[in-house]
Structure 1
Amino acid sequence: MKYMFLIGSALAVSAPAMAQDASDGIVVTATRQPTPITQIGQSVTVVTRAEIERTQATTATDVLARIPGVSTVQSGGFGQPSSVFIRGAENAQSLVLIDGVRINDPGDVGGGFDFGALTIGQFDRVEVVRGSSGVLWGSRAIGGVINFITARPTEQWTARAQAEYGWRDRKQVSASAAGLVGPVGLTLGGNWLKGDGFSAFDEDRGATEKDGFESKSANARADVELAQGLSVDAGGFYTKANYDYDNTGADALNVGLKRDTLGYANLRYSGLDDRLSARVGYGINDTKRISDDAVFGPYQTKGRTERFEGQVLFAPVEMASVQLGAETEKQKFSDNYGSNDDTSIDSYYGNLTLRPLAGLTLNGGLRYDDHEDFGHKTTFAANGAWVIGSGDEAPILRASYGEGFKAPSLYQLYTNAGFRALDAETSKSWDAGVEQPFAGGTGRFTLTYFDRKTKNLIDYDLTQFNYYNVGRARAQGLELGMQVANWQGFDVNLAATYLDATNELTGAQLARRPKTNLYASLDKAWEVGLKLGADLRVGGGRYDDAANSQYVGGNVVVGLRGAFAVTQNVEIYGRIENLFDEHYEVVRTYGTPGRSAYAGVRVKM
């Protein structure tokens, strides 16, 4: 029965009438301006609120794991360290944003972002740009950019809320609302999640102690038009998670805390019949991490990033536009073992967009970074998109080239053994692909080849207890995306990736990157309000260490879900995850959830 179900799922998602690499037409992350996706030369995936609700996702990694070219690993359950690899890039080599503001943690080992405690309930949309975006977004955008976006107010107030209960006493409640109060547009949201969890150390290896968790988060945003074409907006995001964890290959009574506070403000101007737009902005991200080991005591880090930035976009003629920007960033890091350090970087960038022919868009840009500790670096990027023909089913050719630059983090430079003479990581990458819409534009098929070379990749030496530069690494592969949205009541998603990520000096595979990854789902909606769906995840095997001495096998996981609209505004839903109770690991000795069930109710107004 298990294999009949898997074969049936594979046949269903391979049907050529069901495809698309999702988008609702306009994206902001790839160009830092609202742009039709047909004019973007990079690989972009957009996940809408409707898709989040359809798949009943609860965490950020639930959403990201369904995207071509993206793989995720987590050392246990909710709250445990979680990394996202875009096209094989290190977790710290991808930039993470909330409403366009950087949330990468300056106290993280590589200056990356730990996705382990980020829930998805408050977000209205997720945009993922795959491939180097260093010219427009700067340091840490070697692998790509992930932007979590909250809802924007409309003239009529909208609100939604949901409550869910399931396996091992896991409870979740979330709510959000957006609308106008006089001239002020407001967005408010909150999420609470708590559960007994499962042991971070694999229960199949003998673990018995559950590692529970509790997460609270809130977001707010306000914007107002001061005069015609002149507006101001400000907002913030707060999340705090407490969790238990194991890190010794056995049960342990360790506890951890993660707290992120994000704030931002922007002054915006638009004029000359929308041919001129400008923005001046400020952002601050403050983090706190505590890992309290039951034997050795707590280790605490604090990080803070402050940024001032400005950009101007001017289109003197319809076929050309120029974007100019400047940024300054200050980072601070400290821990309870004496580290207390800071650094800064000033940046300037420019991008030229040309539309010389109908359907053809070309972009080229330069960026100059002046780092306090690592001097100056100039990077270049270019990309193009060509819509061949007209109509809903016109194919689109895309190609891009990008260079990246990432300085070592303050953690890598100063913790444990004092200052280390590390070199900055640099990269050169390119990709090329085709997108073929069909079924009247409701479906799209995408196929993309990518290749990235990185120099001075930073790793940790377990014998010297120190960080060092590896030398050269290369990641190349293929991404296949296929998705359809509401085609005769069907929604289908297929995301398949082949990745070859290696250390070019040793020939070893980079740790925790599976060579193959597949996600497929099929959903059907009926007019009576019933929805049924299933998904299939096939994770390839991977090495858990840089020396390729510890191999972790692949896995096949199946899920079922259903929902029913009781009224126009109320829906009940439920799902079974890991239907066949697959026992597997993605990080050696760390556990993954067994068969589990959840049920909930969703209300919209």
Structure 2
Amino acid sequence: MKYLFMLATALTMAPVAQAEEMAPADGGRSDIVVTATREPTPLTQVGQSVSVVTRDEIERVQAISATDVLSRLPGSSVVQSGGFGQPSSVFIRGAENAQSLVLIDGVRINDPGDVGGGFDFGALPIAQFDRVEVVRGASGVLWGSRAVGGVINLITAEPTEEWSARGQAEYGWRDRRQANVSASGLVGPVGVVLGANWMKGDGFSAFNERRGGTEKDGFESRNANARLSLELAPGLSADAGGFYTKANYDYDASGADALHVGLKRDTLGYANLRYADAAGRLSARFGYGLNDTRRVSDDAVFGPYETNGRTERLEAQASFTPLEMASLLVGGETEKQTFDDNYGAGDSTRINSIFGNLTLRPLSGLTLNGGLRYDDSSDFGDRTTFAANGAWVLGEGEEAAVLRASYGEAFKAPSLYQLYTNAGFRNLDPETSTSWDVGLEQPFAQGTGRFTLTYFDRRTRNLIDYDLANWNYYNVGRARAKGLELGMQVTDWEGFDVNLAYTYLDATNAITGTQLARRPQNNVYASIDKTWEMGLKLGADLRVGGGRYDDTANTLYVTGHAVVGIRAAYPLTDMVEVYGRIENLLDEHYEVVRNYGTPGRSAYAGIRVTI
């Protein structure tokens, strides 16, 4: 009865809109974030460690895929079994790929048909996104299941009052071609955003060509996105949108070339009703989100394995600020997931949730947050999680330091694949974690630069593993991940842009003492770009990946690597820019997954048009 009362209260206070904000209300400023608190918040009031990547940064480094962007951030490492289209995982602070929540415009895109319920980043381009926000550390109170390592939110553009458009075309190594277009503006009272991206290439052998792979594993990717918004009355608005991606690709086994082919298809849709009062003290949102996935792995010998997943969510939340020094966020959610495969396995599961978060500003520059969440699952029962964090601005002015600290609890519900494949339903408990971190941010160079240093520690229990003897999943594992993150960003300081991200990670199996597979202890990304008055832009970057074990027993070791890239861009007119880059300039021979290839020296050139 208590649960029903709290849920009814949340829904009554939030008659409009969806639980997630789409993007900052100020048009995308990097000092306003939404993912950490589920509503637009100045970064100086956020107690968790957050990274923000803007459209300008994406274009400056000439990023093509989502993993190009994520691999540049502190605490994040990327592992891909070959080239574009191949399986790709992102580990945040050493957490499993399936232990991070992935969003597009605030809507969950983790695949219900995936083995662990994670998201495969291998075929996701970055061209259609204007902004990426990454929250590191447990975020279970506000985001629920899977937000163990953190939350990744990929945000598309918002409608603008005047029509604008951009287009891009690129060609390069192994006959890789890419083209994308996007436009936004008003059609009468309706705000419209449209975008599309296409990419195709011969690729390279997923089985390492330097180990004998000769057959190229090509790919083709097609993507589209749309968003509509309408103001219904003063303070009341509605919006709806969607994102579609489909990729066909060839892939290999781990020990030899193979004529395997795969398919990945994701369809996402959402609709929201929003309200905000004129005084800025009350805002509310109610919405519906849908994610539908299809995966096909067609083995040349054994035939296809197909999975279909579907997630539907109803969400509501309200934020009330009765006093300048205090605000309260409450919300409720209900989520249903379904899964089936072509071998007859499949079923559904549901989670109902309520959450609340209290924000206090007792002193100038000090922000404190504390929250609770209650989840009731049809498969594992109920669970309550707690979180608290704070941010303290030490001084005044644009170079005032910010001290941050956070504690968070999170869980990952068993996936439908783990629950229902092979031997039918099995009783699994959720994986649970507790984590804390403390960090310091020091702005410099008249506020154009930002230096961050963060220490983190996370313990995870009830990890789900596979029993090869009994052919089923069971709870057995415990893990600990601790380390240090260092970041430095300089934006447009006398024409220079600088980025540095270093992570030291000690991620171990708490039972055996071995290192977790495919997690490098040391990971470095550094870049520098210079823009001259004539418009010429030159840049270079360095990626250093430390050695890592490729298996849980720590018997297979993959050595580290260092990869250098250079790039240039030049504006022909105010609207037209040409650019080019050379990746892996020194033709480094390396692997990040044992036996799987990585690209050698490769060159690309393109043109951008902005109207």
Instruction: Give the structure-2-normalised TM-score.
Output: 0.95
Q: How does 1:68-467 map to 2 (within 5 A)?
A: 68-462=74-468, 464-467=470-473
State which drifts further: 365-374 or 458-467.
458-467
Aligned counterparts of 2:169 and 2:469: Cα–Cα separation in 1:
48
Q: CA deviation at 1:24?
A: 1.9
Confirm whether residue 563 of structure 1 aligns to residue 569 of structure 2: yes
CA contact (8 A) 2:380 2:427 kept: no
Q: CA deviation at 1:23?
A: 6.8
Q: CA deviation at 1:421?
A: 3.0
State the Cα deviation string for residues 106-132 of structure 1 (Å, max 9, x = none): 001111100000000000000000001
Q: CA deviation at 1:516?
A: 0.4
Aligned counterparts of 2:258 and 2:436: Cα–Cα separation in 1:
45
Q: Which residue is equivalent to 2:578?
A: 572
Confirm whether residue 485 of structure 1 aligns to residue 491 of structure 2: yes
State which drifts further: 271-280 or 315-324.
271-280
Aligned counterparts of 2:52 and 2:452: Cα–Cα separation in 1:
14
State which drifts further: 248-257 or 217-226.
248-257
Aligned counterparts of 1:510 and 1:530: Cα–Cα separation in 2:
44
Return the letter of the residue paired with 1:226: L
Aligned counterparts of 1:188 and 1:460: Cα–Cα separation in 2:
43
CA contact (8 A) 1:435 1:446 kept: yes
Q: Which residue is equivalent to 1:495?
A: 501
Q: CA deviation at 1:469?
A: 2.4
State the Cα deviation string for residues 78-125 of structure 1 (Å, max 9, x = none): 111000000000000100000000011000111110000000000000
Q: Which residue is equivalent to 1:29?
A: 35
State the Cα deviation string for residues 204-259 of structure 1 (Å, max 9, x = none): 00010000000000000000000000000000000000000002410000000000
CA contact (8 A) 1:202 1:591 kept: yes
Aligned counterparts of 2:346 and 2:515: Cα–Cα separation in 1:
35
Q: Percent identity?
A: 77
State the Cα deviation string for residues 12-70 of structure 1 (Å, max 9, x = none): xxxxxxxxxx9721111100101100100000000000000000000000000000000
Aligned counterparts of 1:590 and 1:435: Cα–Cα separation in 2:
38
State which drifts further: 45-54 or 421-430.
421-430
CA contact (8 A) 1:23 1:45 kept: no
Q: CA deviation at 1:420?
A: 2.9
| Runs of 5+ consecutive residues of structure 2 not aligned to the other structure | 1-27
CA contact (8 A) 1:199 1:209 kept: yes
Aligned counterparts of 1:23 and 1:112: Cα–Cα separation in 2:
29
Return the letter of the residue paired with 1:452: R
1:83 is paired with a residue of what secondary structure? strand
Give the one of 591, 595, 600 matched to 2:597: 591
Aligned counterparts of 1:463 and 1:36: Cα–Cα separation in 2:
52
1:470 is paired with a residue of what secondary structure? strand
Q: Which residue is equivalent to 1:554?
A: 560
Q: Which residue is equivalent to 1:17?
A: none
Aligned counterparts of 1:23 and 1:59: Cα–Cα separation in 2:
22
Return the letter of the residue paired with 2:139: S
CA contact (8 A) 2:74 2:501 kept: yes
| Number of matched pairs | 584
CA contact (8 A) 2:346 2:416 kept: no
Return the letter of the residue paired with 1:69: G
CA contact (8 A) 2:140 2:408 kept: yes
State the Cα deviation string for residues 278-304 of structure 1 (Å, max 9, x = none): 000100000000000000000000000
Aligned counterparts of 1:585 and 1:233: Cα–Cα separation in 2:
44
1:51 is paired with a residue of what secondary structure? helix
Aligned counterparts of 1:428 and 1:232: Cα–Cα separation in 2:
37
Q: CA deviation at 1:465?
A: 4.1
Q: Which residue is equivalent to 2:52?
A: 46
Aligned counterparts of 1:517 and 1:82: Cα–Cα separation in 2:
17
Return the letter of the residue paired with 1:440: Q
Give the one of 521, 541, 558 matched to 2:527: 521
Aligned counterparts of 2:70 and 2:188: Cα–Cα separation in 1:
37
Q: CA deviation at 1:274?
A: 1.2
CA contact (8 A) 2:265 2:295 kept: yes
Return the letter of the residue paired with 2:484: L
1:97 is paired with a residue of what secondary structure? strand
Q: CA deviation at 1:179?
A: 1.1
1:77 is paired with a residue of what secondary structure? coil
CA contact (8 A) 1:23 1:47 kept: no
2:379 is paired with a residue of what secondary structure? coil
Q: CA deviation at 1:260?
A: 0.1
| Runs of 5+ consecutive residues of structure 1 not aligned to the other structure | 1-21
2:86 is paired with a residue of what secondary structure? coil
State the Cα deviation string for residues 470-529 of structure 1 (Å, max 9, x = none): 331000000000010000000000000000000111001111110000000010000111
Q: Which residue is equivalent to 2:587?
A: 581
Aligned counterparts of 2:407 and 2:254: Cα–Cα separation in 1:
43
Aligned counterparts of 1:484 and 1:470: Cα–Cα separation in 2:
44
CA contact (8 A) 2:254 2:595 kept: no
Q: CA deviation at 1:468?
A: 2.8
State which drifts further: 405-414 or 97-106.
405-414
Return the letter of the residue paired with 2:607: V
CA contact (8 A) 2:495 2:531 kept: yes
Q: How large is the RMSD of aligned CA atoms in angstroms?
A: 1.0
CA contact (8 A) 1:327 1:346 kept: yes
Return the letter of the residue paired with 2:585: L
Aligned counterparts of 2:376 and 2:242: Cα–Cα separation in 1:
28
Give the one of 468, 479, 483 matched to 2:474: 468
CA contact (8 A) 1:529 1:566 kept: no
Aligned counterparts of 1:449 and 1:65: Cα–Cα separation in 2:
19
Return the letter of the residue paired with 1:40: V
CA contact (8 A) 2:52 2:131 kept: yes
Q: CA deviation at 1:156?
A: 1.4
Q: CA deviation at 1:182?
A: 1.3
